[in-house]
Structure 1
Amino acid sequence: MGHDHDEDPRDDLAPTEGLPGRAGPSAASADGVLPPGAMIGHYRIEALLGRGGMGEVYRAQQLQPVHRTVALKRLRQRRLDARHLAHFEIERQLLAQMRHPAIAQVHDAGTTGDGHPYFVMEYIEGEPLTRYCETRALPLRERLALFVRVCEGVQHAHQKGVVHRDLKPGNILVSEVDGRPLPKIIDFGIATAGQRSDGHDRAGTPDYMSPEQAGLDGGGVEIDTRSDVYSLGVMLYELIAGHRPAADLSTDRAIHTCDATPLSQGLDTLPPEAADLRARQLGTPRGDLRRIMRGELDWVVARAMRRDRAERYPSASALAADLQRFLDGRPLEAVPATRRYVWRKFLGRHRLAVAATAAVALAVLAGLGLSLYGLQQATEQRRIAEQRSAELEKVAAFQQSMLEAVDIEGMGLGLSDGLREQIGHHAPERMPQLDAVLAKASTADLARAAIDRHLLANALAAIDRDFADQPALAERLRLSVGDVQLALGLSAAAATVFERVATEREARLGADHLDTLQARQAWAQADVEANAFADGRALAEDVLARAGSMPPDAADAAEWNDLRLEAARTRAIAMFNLGEREAARAAQQALYDDASAVRAPGDPALLNVQADLALSMARMGDIAEARRIHEDLYARLRDVRGAEDNRTLVVMGRLAVMRDMDGDADEAVALQTERVALGERKLGAEHPFTLNERGNLANMLLNAHRIDEAEPLMREVLDARARQFGEDAPATLRTRLNLAALLARDGRTAEALVLEEEVLAARRVDPGPRHPDTAFVEVNHATTMHRAGRPPAEVQAQLARALPLAREVLGEGHPQTRAAERIQALTWLQAGHDARAAAALADIRTLQQAEAEPDEPPDPVMGWALAEALDRLGRDAEADAIRASDVQWLLDLPADQRDADDTADLARIDEERSLLAALRR
């Protein structure tokens, strides 16, 4: 008999254009350099272009399938181990996906016959960025415009999951097309989708390397896109100042120990004639250049080169956007937005209009004399209001961080410790009684209830009272409260909060604004977690429809992409729970394929999509593949994010379910016991997520034939769910069904039938008679009726409804469909339809043999039933052969060598024999 598993309601790289690895001879000279004429695959070496610490770059001719000149970089490292080979494979697939005018196209990649990795890329006839600018004395504005295009190319690589890690002028070649400079970023040979600064495999150029990449942050920090932003900052400094920031310091690595020296300070320290020369090279008078540096460019370079990467520009596109603002005469994000600064930028953009306005203003000044005092007072009031707004921003940010950092486990432990301290001080003789009470109580549950009742409810009331005139701040605070409610398992309450935020943002910002859609997605997720699947699906579909109109070149494209992915995940989960399982699984597969093409393999969002897909596979009967994916996911998450990270724990629980469904009940129980202990400690015994895990543990104990342990645990979960959610809530019905399965397996079929009929009546109404969950219960009910000894005609009537429904909505190969087919054959045997029973049992036996592992014994229950049917048909020899092959091995097995499954099979044979005997009587 099957049972429902509880779960939290919510790897291969997809094929790219293909960069097949090819090997070929590489006869290097004594110094390791390849001579002209040497062959690597389809490429003939023509000349050495340059060499460095990572390897050499050659000009080469591609001979097939097309003839063209290419640049070939051969890395110095040889004989890649498994880890480096995996990184190299991932890198070359990522590099093939990049398409941008500012990035040199990578054509091919592979390893030579003697083990050297190599990349083949577009050959660029150009000069390094700084040399191009200096030899042509490019004016400042033209340098910045050129640099903006470089940043756009870097941003494109980042969106494809690639961090360059060696950005420097020599890796940005500038050529001219139709008289216009065109930058090309080259040498992605050490790029990666994520690398730690742990002292190994460190690559790059020290003068341009970020502190975390150089290992000066203590090590162990994952290198991300902000490392490239730092390198861009160094290049920007060099483009403007004419030298690298480190040139002003005592050592080349000193730049990494503190934030960079301001640009203007470097100019001020130059001799007057050198400063004048630099100003002429940049096409700007010396005084204007100093003013520009101090007023704006100092801020831009300083922010790009912050030692603390959290203080840098968050992306290359953000740096480019600030430089474009400079070129357009608009205020920069990096510069504090004082009124004087903003007004000065406005004047710079609108000189003529301001001059005309000033002329008109002079004519009416006399009439405004009496208004000046009032204007002064209004200005002062505005200053006070702005100061208060800034203070409120800080308060809001602080309150938000406090709410989001609520530690239920810590509060519960603190409550226990506080009680022990008080009792120990005032009545130490009562300590044994207190310990006995605390052993049965969940202090984390008490803390969760107290937070909901006293903190969150008061917080929402205070937001309404104190922030009515600050709608944006109020919305942010409400979102924080909703996030905490969601984490506490108060999904319906969180949905109400998110709905209000989404409604207010729509009125204030518009229905298509990113902030509005993010709130609607949070609302959709909360609805799905609260089992309001239809509502959650409708909201997610609305978000997807509106988010699809986002401009492709939006500065916040990454946030839009994340929003679309999360909305698509939510919609698929809702579809699956609404019964559209095939469509939901197909949507999840497509989502995974699309996401894996543009995201790094370890991207958390990609792992979430993969976990969703694997769960759907399992619930649709593809257990082996689902388990394989979960085993891999769990090992990766445990190593990368830690054993107690929330995402790791979710996958840990799902993996235990996969092991159980795959027949490894003991392994499942061991893993799930650990999962439940972590959940109770972190969230409390009656947190909804912990109840899911406890319910699953009870089911696994049942499958391990440990009924005495499973039943009390299952009844505790049922009682808690009935109190929390109501008698007819989906989670409560699921636990009631699992208890029915336990009772039936223990021979208490009369009690089991009562529970099943209650669940079946509820599920036929909601989610409906043709829902997969309803089909599941229909099959269970037929199984229990058979084992309870109900007349075969009644069982067959139930099967006439259950089996076609299971085949239609669960599929021919689903374990529950197979269970219904076995019960049908056994019922035919009871009813005396011997020929039909024998044919069906023979088909079941043939299918089991085809799917069995090499050393897996035959199914003795089905073998016994088939032999009985053949005996009745007078086919005694066939019956004896079946008994000898399928049943006798179990009968001959010594009692001390039988496992729980063997004992259960013997009991089932005795049960079926008793049912047949009762009918004959």
Structure 2
Amino acid sequence: MREGEGSGGDAGRYHRVKQIVLQALDLQDRAREELIAREVGDDAAMADEVRALLAGMEADQTLVVSLRSPGVAAPDTGQDLSGQETSADAARDYRLLQRLGAGGMGVVYLAERRHGGFVQKVALKLLNPVAEASPELRERFARERELLARLDHPGIARLLDGGILADGRPFLAMEYVEGERVDVHAARLPLDGRIALFVKVCEAVAEAHRCLVIHRDLKPANILVDARGQPRLLDFGIARLIDEDSAMGGDTRTGQHALTLAYASPEQLACQPLTTATDVYSLGAVLYQLVCGQLPFADIDNPAGLYNAIANTDVPPPSRRLRRDGEPRAQGRAVPADIDAIVLKALRKEPDLRYASVAALAEDLRRYLAHRPVSARAGERGYRARRFLRRNAWPLAAAALVLLSVLGGLLASVLALREARAQQALAERRGHDLQRLTDFQQAMLESVDIDAMGHAMTDAQQRKVLEVLARQAPGQPLEARLRQAFAQVGAPSIARDALDQQVVSHALARLDADFADAPQLAADMRQSLARVLIAIGHYPHAADELRRVLQTREAALPASDARVVSARIDLGQALSLQGELEPAAEAFERALAATRGRPALDPQRRAAQAGAARVLAARGDPQAALARQSALRTAWMAALPADDEALLLLRGDYARTLEELGRRDEGRAELEVLLPLYRARFGPESNRTLAAMDTQAELQFAYADYEHAAALARQVAQVRERRLGAEHPDTLKAWGTAATSLVRLADSPESYAEAEALLDHLLRTQGQVLGIEHPATRQFVVDKIRLLSKQDRMQEAIALQRRHLADCLRVLGPDHPDTLFARGGLSSMLSDQPGGLDEARVLAGVTLAAMRRQLGPEHPLVTATLDLTGRIERNAGNWEASRDAHAQALEIRARTRGQLDGHTLESATRLYIALYRLHDEAGMRDLRTRFLDPLLALDPATLNASRRSHRRAILLALEGRWE
């Protein structure tokens, strides 16, 4: 027995044993044995008593013996305690469910509280046998209830009930908190998230301090984070009122050792009077652990060394421990100097040098999160200035630029009056330039010949009316013919031409003369006018003017200058709209090269990236275009608002590329999200919104829903015709989508005539506006060929198809998707002509190999060419080869498009004919069950035109025939 411990008799001995037991509870194995040996000295009997009490406290039967009924065995750890009940002296019962844990003083169970007809889960805390035998611990347990009754805060587990059980033991019923330890939860958060979580912990502790309660045992085990992310304080078992120590004359021995050593403050170890600074220290230790994953003295593994370190050794900064342990910084775990300073201030050994309150600690952490100076570094030279600079980086940068300009001007005026005069002259020259631009705009508008403009518009209208009259049948009354002719002449188109000829071209003609001495100023005005030309659809004229802008700027400015890049992007846009894809790609790529060193979200860099991807798709490489667009879409959606203009336009391009690649479901899903955003951002009749609706019509066409595709395309075309004019390229594009659908629907002389009239109009107008080699014009040629074929005008169709293929080979090259489609189309027509099978087979083979190489093995054009191969072999009487080709097409189409898709049914019907001719009864039954009968079972009155056509083909196929 140690010196000074022998005079207290049995009570003193029991008190000493109890103190050792409470210290040893938090230790394991070797550390526990070292503590016992150090504390009892040579008293083996006392060592045995300590070990026996420790074993008893850790055994479950000690925890439940007073609760179980006679004859019922004690449950094992974790055993379900359902059905064991105990009654309080009030009309309420607690049904124990599970043991949650034990500490130095008590045991906590998960229990159900039954009171007044309701059942509530609670954490029920009871004294363990050691504590029951101690008047001091019973008094502390009662005091815990009093303290908890004071506290009402969302961050503190609430006291629900308390009193004396039927067997005389005191109990506390606490709010049951389901959650995980704060250190476990915080490990998944970035540093700022961990700090924000810890601030909530501080707010709960500060509330306890406002109620004059010190916790005295703050550690991660006593702080749980619930499902909502709210930290909750538990276990006020050794808490004390702030004024209690002084009221007791400084005698703080009771409960002084009921603490967790690793989080204890130096004054707790020294048994000094405690204040709120004790909780500040413990919070500092918890924060240290949350920041770097370890405790301040984690490398010390024995109590004596830990006592000495807490009392005498400086705490290493969290950042130093993190670097020493070699944790990767890529996980965002590097600790800023501000956090080092805050943690070390909270862990000062002198209480008066720590934060004055927990609220002050929380406020410093909030300042860190807001990039404001923290008080923990208030004494560092230049620190507040650095914080201010970081928080106000952009405003200060702007202010610095202004300040540098002013200082530069002052310095120049001191060093050289001549330089100051030069700066003044430069400013005067800029003001003069602005005045010249204003005067030019005014003079240009004043000089517009309104009379000539009116006559030009009238002449254009008369000419167009006469052209329409010349095409009309003469049988109608003149008044009706005139009214019809005027209705067909688009006033917006006439106004657009007049705007170009009488205003824009007039202004451009004056630029060189009026700004001969200021070429860069003339280039600025020329680019603005070129953008007007792009807006009204005069792409070639716009491209010519933008080339002149580039020539002027490149002669005086570096390639990376924003004005040069801007002109390149505009030129790429004009060229791509005109269909000049090679020079458009070059313009965008050069703009992109000039912006590579800029931030990822620089507007010009984003415009160049999106334009380059768009042209890549138009040039016939949709796979590469989609890869670029997908990467940009992911990056921009993570960094930009959903209605950002450039992001919306990119997503529209992305949807169109998906449609081109046959990924219709993905394209439709993208458009369903996009259209409401387009309408909200640009307006319901904006040309950008209409472009998205046009893409939607194309997707409906891809689904063989030709009626709805035609209706939606007509709606778009009519709005564009009213707003942009009948000859605007965008109007013609929408009418082209409608015409393509009408060709598919045509099945009578009247519908053939309607579709052919529209196609001839589009071919003539588009050829005049954009040229016969423009991609949109080529599509009208394809539709005209299909319409001729449907009317059995095969010689005309084949001749036009051969010219079309030659044009594609000359303009696009042999591997462009349009060229491949043209070659496949010629093969299809030849396959039904006498003597054409051999050429058709060769063309189909070359086309299929190139399509697989360029577009992938499952592209819709690949399956279409497989079906074409099957038809060629059918017409040649090679039924096995026909069967194999149709089977390949059916397998891909059924998997990628679904069993009731029109193209899938087309392949199934043609395969059925081949099986019929090969007498494959089992294969025919399987095809009927899976593909043909489901369509035949539908009411014919409910089918659209495409489905009705497939139904007719199936009925013929069941007899081994085809159309």
- In the superposition, the TM-score normalised over structure 2's length comes to 0.56
Per-residue CA distance 1:201-235 (angstroms, 9 max, x = gap): xxxxxxxxxxxxxxxxxxxxxxxxxxxxxxx9xxx
Q: Which stretch shifts more, 319-328 or 806-815? A: 319-328
Q: Which amino acid aligns with 2:155?
A: L
User: Cα distance 1:774–1:761, how it changes in 2: closer, same or farther (>3 A)?
Assistant: same
Alpha-carbon distance in structure 1 between the residues aligned to 2:685 and 2:334: 39
Alpha-carbon distance in structure 1 between the residues aligned to 2:428 and 2:633: 51
The structural deviation recorded for 1:777 is 1.3
498, 521, 527: which one pairs with 2:575?
A: 527
819, 844, 860: which one pairs with 2:864?
A: 819
Alignment partner of 1:446 is 2:494: yes
User: Cα distance 1:417–1:748, how it changes in 2: closer, same or farther (>3 A)?
Assistant: closer
Partner of 2:799: 754
The structural deviation recorded for 1:716 is 1.2
Alpha-carbon distance in structure 2 between the residues aligned to 1:319 and 1:518: 26
The structural deviation recorded for 1:527 is 1.8
Partner of 2:847: 802
Alpha-carbon distance in structure 1 between the residues aligned to 2:641 and 2:688: 18
Contact 2:900 2:931 survives alignment (8 Å)? no
203, 213, 216: which one pairs with 1:48?
A: 203
Alignment partner of 1:488 is 2:536: yes
The structural deviation recorded for 1:509 is 2.7
Alpha-carbon distance in structure 1 between the residues aligned to 2:960 and 2:803: 26
User: Cα distance 1:739–1:64, how it changes in 2: closer, same or farther (>3 A)?
Assistant: farther
Counterpart of 1:125 in 2: which secondary structure? Answer: helix
User: Cα distance 1:541–1:869, how it changes in 2: closer, same or farther (>3 A)?
Assistant: closer
16, 34, 58: which one pairs with 2:155?
A: 34
Q: Which amino acid aligns with 1:475?
A: A
Alignment partner of 1:391 is 2:452: no
Alignment partner of 1:545 is 2:593: yes
Alpha-carbon distance in structure 1 between the residues aligned to 2:891 and 2:788: 31
User: Cα distance 1:732–1:841, how it changes in 2: closer, same or farther (>3 A)?
Assistant: closer
Alpha-carbon distance in structure 2 between the residues aligned to 1:655 and 1:772: 21
User: Cα distance 1:36–1:320, how it changes in 2: closer, same or farther (>3 A)?
Assistant: farther
Alpha-carbon distance in structure 2 between the residues aligned to 1:537 and 1:174: 57
Partner of 1:594: 635
Partner of 1:125: 364
Alpha-carbon distance in structure 2 between the residues aligned to 1:471 and 1:174: 59
181, 185, 210: which one pairs with 2:383?
A: 181
Q: Which amino acid aligns with 1:605?
A: A
633, 648, 670: which one pairs with 1:629?
A: 670
Partner of 2:688: 647
Partner of 2:913: 868
Counterpart of 2:383 in 1: which secondary structure? Answer: strand
Alignment partner of 1:324 is 2:417: no
Residues 561-572 of structure 1 correspond to what in structure 2 (within 5 A)?
561-572=602-613
The structural deviation recorded for 1:588 is 1.9
Alpha-carbon distance in structure 2 between the residues aligned to 1:640 and 1:495: 28
Q: Which stretch shifts more, 858-867 or 764-773? A: 858-867
Contact 2:292 2:333 survives alignment (8 Å)? no
Partner of 1:478: 526
User: Cα distance 1:582–1:382, how it changes in 2: closer, same or farther (>3 A)?
Assistant: closer
Alpha-carbon distance in structure 2 between the residues aligned to 1:609 and 1:572: 9
Counterpart of 2:857 in 1: which secondary structure? Answer: coil
The structural deviation recorded for 1:857 is 9.0
904, 908, 911: which one pairs with 2:949?
A: 904
User: Cα distance 1:881–1:446, how it changes in 2: closer, same or farther (>3 A)?
Assistant: same
User: Cα distance 1:705–1:514, how it changes in 2: closer, same or farther (>3 A)?
Assistant: same
| Percent of aligned pairs with the same amino acid | 23
User: Cα distance 1:828–1:539, how it changes in 2: closer, same or farther (>3 A)?
Assistant: same
Partner of 1:583: 624
Alpha-carbon distance in structure 1 between the residues aligned to 2:366 and 2:455: 62
Q: Which amino acid aligns with 1:737?
A: V
Alpha-carbon distance in structure 1 between the residues aligned to 2:654 and 2:948: 36
Alpha-carbon distance in structure 2 between the residues aligned to 1:351 and 1:778: 75
The structural deviation recorded for 1:757 is 1.0
Partner of 2:873: 828
Contact 2:704 2:902 survives alignment (8 Å)? no
Alpha-carbon distance in structure 1 between the residues aligned to 2:457 and 2:761: 23
Partner of 1:735: 780
Partner of 2:81: none
The structural deviation recorded for 1:678 is 1.0
Per-residue CA distance 1:392-424 (angstroms, 9 max, x = gap): 244467799999xxxxxx9999999999xxxxx
**If you compute each CA radius of gyration, which structure gives the higher value, 1 or 2?**
2
Alpha-carbon distance in structure 1 between the residues aligned to 2:856 and 2:709: 25
Per-residue CA distance 1:523-561 (angstroms, 9 max, x = gap): 2222222222111222222222222245x6xxxx97xx1
Q: Which amino acid aligns with 2:290?
A: H
Q: Which stretch shifts more, 887-896 or 453-462? A: 887-896
Residues 687-706 of structure 1 correspond to what in structure 2 (within 5 A)?
687-705=728-746
Per-residue CA distance 1:57-94 (angstroms, 9 max, x = gap): 99988979962399xxxxxxxxxxxxxxxxxxxxxxxx
User: Cα distance 1:786–1:172, how it changes in 2: closer, same or farther (>3 A)?
Assistant: farther
Alignment partner of 1:500 is 2:548: yes
The structural deviation recorded for 1:800 is 1.8
The structural deviation recorded for 1:832 is 2.0
Higher relative contact order (CA 8 A, sep 6+): 1
Alignment partner of 1:468 is 2:516: yes
Counterpart of 1:68 in 2: which secondary structure? Answer: helix
Alpha-carbon distance in structure 2 between the residues aligned to 1:780 and 1:496: 36
Partner of 2:325: none
Q: Which amino acid aligns with 1:35?
A: I
Alignment partner of 1:349 is 2:411: yes
The structural deviation recorded for 1:460 is 0.5
The structural deviation recorded for 1:691 is 0.8
Contact 1:445 1:687 survives alignment (8 Å)? yes
User: Cα distance 1:178–1:433, how it changes in 2: closer, same or farther (>3 A)?
Assistant: same
636, 646, 657: which one pairs with 1:616?
A: 657
Per-residue CA distance 1:97-117 (angstroms, 9 max, x = gap): 999999999xxxxxxxxxxxx
Per-residue CA distance 1:761-795 (angstroms, 9 max, x = gap): 11112111111210111122222333456643332
Residues 842-861 of structure 1 correspond to what in structure 2 (within 5 A)?
842-851=887-896, 853=898, 861=906
Residues 233-382 of structure 1 correspond to what in structure 2 (within 5 A)?
319-325=395-401, 327-328=403-404, 330-331=405-406, 348-349=410-411, 353=415
Q: Which amino acid aligns with 2:492?
A: A
The structural deviation recorded for 1:643 is 0.3
Uncovered stretches (5+) of structure 2, i.e. residues with no partner: 1-121, 124-147, 159-176, 187-196, 208-228, 233-279, 294-330, 341-360, 448-453, 464-476
Counterpart of 1:47 in 2: which secondary structure? Answer: helix
Alpha-carbon distance in structure 2 between the residues aligned to 1:634 and 1:602: 11
Alpha-carbon distance in structure 2 between the residues aligned to 1:636 and 1:869: 49
Aligned residues: 631
Per-residue CA distance 1:596-638 (angstroms, 9 max, x = gap): 3332232111122222222112112211111211121112211
Per-residue CA distance 1:247-279 (angstroms, 9 max, x = gap): xxxxxxxxxxxxxxxxxxxxxxxxxxxxxxxxx
Alpha-carbon distance in structure 1 between the residues aligned to 2:548 and 2:631: 32
The structural deviation recorded for 1:736 is 0.6
Partner of 1:205: none
Counterpart of 2:202 in 1: which secondary structure? Answer: strand
Alpha-carbon distance in structure 1 between the residues aligned to 2:339 and 2:603: 27
Residues 106-255 of structure 1 correspond to what in structure 2 (within 5 A)?
125=364, 176=378, 178-182=380-384
Alignment partner of 1:683 is 2:838: no
User: Cα distance 1:462–1:911, how it changes in 2: closer, same or farther (>3 A)?
Assistant: farther
Alpha-carbon distance in structure 1 between the residues aligned to 2:648 and 2:445: 26
User: Cα distance 1:742–1:66, how it changes in 2: closer, same or farther (>3 A)?
Assistant: farther
Partner of 1:10: none
667, 679, 690: which one pairs with 2:708?
A: 667
User: Cα distance 1:721–1:854, how it changes in 2: closer, same or farther (>3 A)?
Assistant: closer
Counterpart of 1:67 in 2: which secondary structure? Answer: helix
Contact 2:706 2:744 survives alignment (8 Å)? yes
The structural deviation recorded for 1:746 is 4.1
Alpha-carbon distance in structure 2 between the residues aligned to 1:469 and 1:100: 59
Contact 1:174 1:182 survives alignment (8 Å)? no
